[in-house]
């Protein structure tokens, strides 16, 4: 039922809700960095009370302090979340399915990097150095960079996960 990064453990909400109410994606505001705790508490309360109409709880990876709950209606979420400590508020509206998909889709760091960008190397033998990107190979997940802080012009091929964008061209 609870998922980090948008994968629902207990899916199939579409088929279940088609019989009674349309599915709604409700946003629940929480204390920052307490999202997973609130999600687990919601899950245990829902299972313990036998609540119907709650299909998934999503913890978006990039957004701190919010949960997305797939349910038949706002009233179900409000009833389950009323006594949970770290719940700060409930949104009065709901999200559309495509908006939820945008929020939970994770983007590889290498997809944001373009030739000419300045990056910082975050691991490996060149950790902490700044470099200029010469080329990016998405298939191999590598970046060819020229070190900016070296005493001579040095090029290196580095895994894409080892660089972090600092400044655009």
Looking at the structure, tell me whether residues 63 and 94 fall in a common domain. Answer: yes
Q: Is residue 48 scored above 80 in pLDDT?
A: yes
Measure Cα distances from 12 to 8, 9, 16, 146, 160 in Å. 9, 10, 7, 49, 35
167 or 7: which leads in pLDDT: 167
Note the pLDDT tens digit of each residue in 122-156.
999 999 999 999 999 999 999 999 999 888 889 99
Domain span at residue 49?
2-104
Looking at the structure, tell me whether residues 80 and 120 fall in a common domain. Answer: no
Looking at the structure, tell me whether residues 52 and 119 fall in a common domain. Answer: no
Looking at the structure, tell me whether residues 15 and 98 fall in a common domain. Answer: yes
CATH, residue 30: 3.30.70.940
CA dist., res. 15 & res. 18, Å (int): 5
- Max Cα separation, the chain? 69
Looking at the structure, tell me whether residues 117 and 88 fall in a common domain. Answer: no
Percent of the chain with pLDDT over 70: 85
Looking at the structure, tell me whether residues 21 and 92 fall in a common domain. Answer: yes
Looking at the structure, tell me whether residues 123 and 42 fall in a common domain. Answer: no
CA dist., res. 30 & res. 39, Å (int): 10
Note the pLDDT tens digit of each residue in 72-90.
988 889 899 988 999 998 7
Contact of 4 with 36, CB cutoff 8 Å: yes
Note the pLDDT tens digit of each residue in 93-125.
788 888 888 887 777 778 889 999 999 999 999
Q: Is residue 12 scored above 50 in pLDDT?
A: no
Residue 168: strand, helix, or coil: coil
Looking at the structure, tell me whether residues 21 and 65 fall in a common domain. Answer: yes
- Say how many domains are in the chain: 2
Please tell me the least confidently modeled range out of 9-13, 24-28, 124-128: 9-13
CATH, residue 120: 2.30.30.30
Domain boundary among 81, 104, 127: 104
Q: Is residue 70 scored above 90 in pLDDT?
A: yes
């Amino acid at each position: 039922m609870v998922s980090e990064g948008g994968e629902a453990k207990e899916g199939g909400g579409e088929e279940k809700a088609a019989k009674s109410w349309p599915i709604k994606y409700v946003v629940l505001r929480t204390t920052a960095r307490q999202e997973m705790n609130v999600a687990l508490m919601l899950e245990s309360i829902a299972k313990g009370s036998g609540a119907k109409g709650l299909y998934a709880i999503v913890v978006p990876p990039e957004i701190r302090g919010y949960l997305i709950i797939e349910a038949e209606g706002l009233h179900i979420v409000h009833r389950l979340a009323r006594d949970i400590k770290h719940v700060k508020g409930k949104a009065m509206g709901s999200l559309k399915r495509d908006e939820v998909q945008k929020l939970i889709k994770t983007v590889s760091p290498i997809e944001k990097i373009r030739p000419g960008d300045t990056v910082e190397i975050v691991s490996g033998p060149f950790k902490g150095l700044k470099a200029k990107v010469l080329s990016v190979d998405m298939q191999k997940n590598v970046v060819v960079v020229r070190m900016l802080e070296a005493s001579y012009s040095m090029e290196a091929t580095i895994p894409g996960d080892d660089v972090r964008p600092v400044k655009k061209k």
